[in-house]
Amino acid sequence: MTTMYIGKPTSRVDGRAKVTGTARYAAEHRVSGLAFGWIVSSTVARGRIVRIQTDAASALPGVLRVFTHENAPRLARFDRSYRDEIAPPGAPFRPLQDAEIRFSHQPVALVVAESLELARYAASLIRVEYESSPVATDLEAQRPSARAPKPRPGLSGVPDPRGDPDAAWESAAVRVDAVYRAPPQHHNPMESFATTVFRRGDGRLTVYDKTQGVQNVQSYLCRVFGCSNSTLRVVSPFVGGAFGSGLRPQATAYLAVLAARELERSVRVSMTRQQMFSFGHRPATWQRVALGATEDGCLISILHEAVAETSRFEDYSEAVVFWSGLLYACDNVQLDHKVVQLDVATPGDMRAPGAAWGLFALESAMDELATKLDMDPLELRLRNYSERDSIEDLPFSSKALRECYRQGADRFGWSRRNLQPRATRAGDVFIGQGMATGIWEASQHPAAARAELSDDGELLVSSATADIGTGTYTIMTQIAAERMGLPLDKVTFLLGDSSFPRSPVEGGSWTAATIGSAVLAACDKLRKKLLRLARKLPASPLKHATPDEVVFADGWIRSAKDPARGASLIEILRQSQFHRLEAEAGAKPSSKQKQYSRYAHSAVFAEVQVDAELGTTVVTRVVSAVAAGRILNPKTARSQVLGGVVWGIGSALEEESVLDHGLGRFMNHSFAEYHVPVHADVREIEVIFVDEVDNFVNPLGAKGLGEIGIVGVAAAVANAIYNATGRRVRELPITPDKLL
The SS3 call for residue 383 is helix
Contact criterion met (CB below 8 Å) for 266 and 31: yes
Q: For residue 383, is it within any domain?
A: yes
Instruction: Give the residue from 272, 291, 308 where a domain finishes.
Output: 272
Residue 241: predicted pLDDT: 95
Q: Which of 559, 588, 617 is the last residue of a domain?
A: 588
**Domain check: are 219 and 165 in the same one?**
no
Q: Are residue 117 and residue 236 in the same domain, yes or no? A: yes
Q: What is the model's pLDDT at position 2?
A: 57
Do residues 212 and 247 lie in contact, with contact meaning Cβ atoms separated by under 8 Å? yes
**pLDDT (mean) for 253-271:** 98
CATH of residue 387: 3.30.365.10
Based on the domain organization, do 571 and 600 belong to the same domain?
A: no
Do residues 644 and 509 share a domain? no
Q: Is 526 helix (H, G, I), strand (E, B) or coil?
A: helix
Predicted confidence (pLDDT) per residue in 579-635, tens digit:
999 999 999 999 999 999 999 999 999 999 999 999 999 999 999 999 999 999 999
What residues are paired with 290 via a beta bridge? 177, 303
130 close to 663: Cβ distance less than 8 angstroms: no
pLDDT tens per residue across span 502-540: 999 999 999 999 999 999 999 999 999 999 999 999 999
pLDDT category at 157 given cuts 50, 70, 90 is confident
- The number of angstroms, rounded, from the C-alpha of 283 to the middle of its chain's C-alpha atoms is 15
Phi and psi for 317 in degrees, rounded to 5? -150, 160
Same domain membership, residue 624 and residue 726: yes
pTM: 0.97
Cα-based distances in Å from 472 to 143, 465, 509? 41, 9, 11
DSSP state of 390: T
Q: Examine the pLDDT at 156 and tell me if it is beyond 80.
A: no
CA 25, 30, 32: angle at the middle one, nearest 5?
150
The total number of residues shown for the chain amounts to 740
Q: Are 113 and 60 in contact (CB under 8 A)?
A: yes
Domain-terminating residue out of 244, 272, 300: 272
Beta-strand ranges (E) seen in 117-219 are 127-132, 174-182, 194-199, 205-209
Nearest to 454 by CA among 584, 575, 574: 574
Residue 338 belongs to some domain of the structure? yes
Give residue-wise pLDDT tens across range 90-121.
999 999 999 999 999 999 999 999 999 999 99
Residue of 305, 482, 692, 707 with catalytic role: 707
613 catalytic, yes or no? no
Whether the ω angle into residue 538 lies within 30 degrees of 0, i.e. cis, is: no
Q: How many other C-beta atoms lie within 10 A of the C-beta of residue 543?
A: 12
Q: Is residue 27 part of a domain?
A: no
Q: Hey, CA dihedral for 518, 520, 526, 529, is it positive or negative?
A: negative
Report which residue type is found at 242. A
Q: What is the pLDDT of residues 442-497, one digit of tens each?
A: 999 999 999 999 999 999 999 999 999 999 999 999 999 999 999 999 999 999 99
The predicted pLDDT at position 152 comes to 85
Q: What is the mean pLDDT of residues 149-177?
A: 93
* Number of Cβ within a 10 Å radius of residue 329: 13
Q: Which candidate, 497, 481, 500, 501, places its Cα nearest to that of 489?
A: 481
Q: Domain limits at 248?
A: 35-134+192-272
Stated as kind and residue range, the H or E segment containing 452 is strand 447-454
314 pLDDT above the threshold of 60: yes
Q: Which residues pair with 255 in a beta bridge?
A: none
Residue 22 lies in a domain: no
The pLDDT tens digits of the residues spanning 202-226 come to 999 999 999 999 999 999 999 999 9
Separation CA 469–CA 602 (nearest Å)? 22
- 660 & 570 share domain: no
The helix or strand, by DSSP H or E, that contains position 336, with its residue range, turns out to be strand 333-342
DSSP for residue 358:
H
Contact 415, 712 (CB under 8 A): no
Distance CA 282, CA 183 (A): 8
Residues 435 and 459 in one domain: no
Select from 221, 357, 223 the least CA-distant residue to 289.
357
Residue 56, SS3 per DSSP: helix
One domain, residues 222 and 307: no
Maximum separation of any 2 CA atoms in the chain, in Å: 85
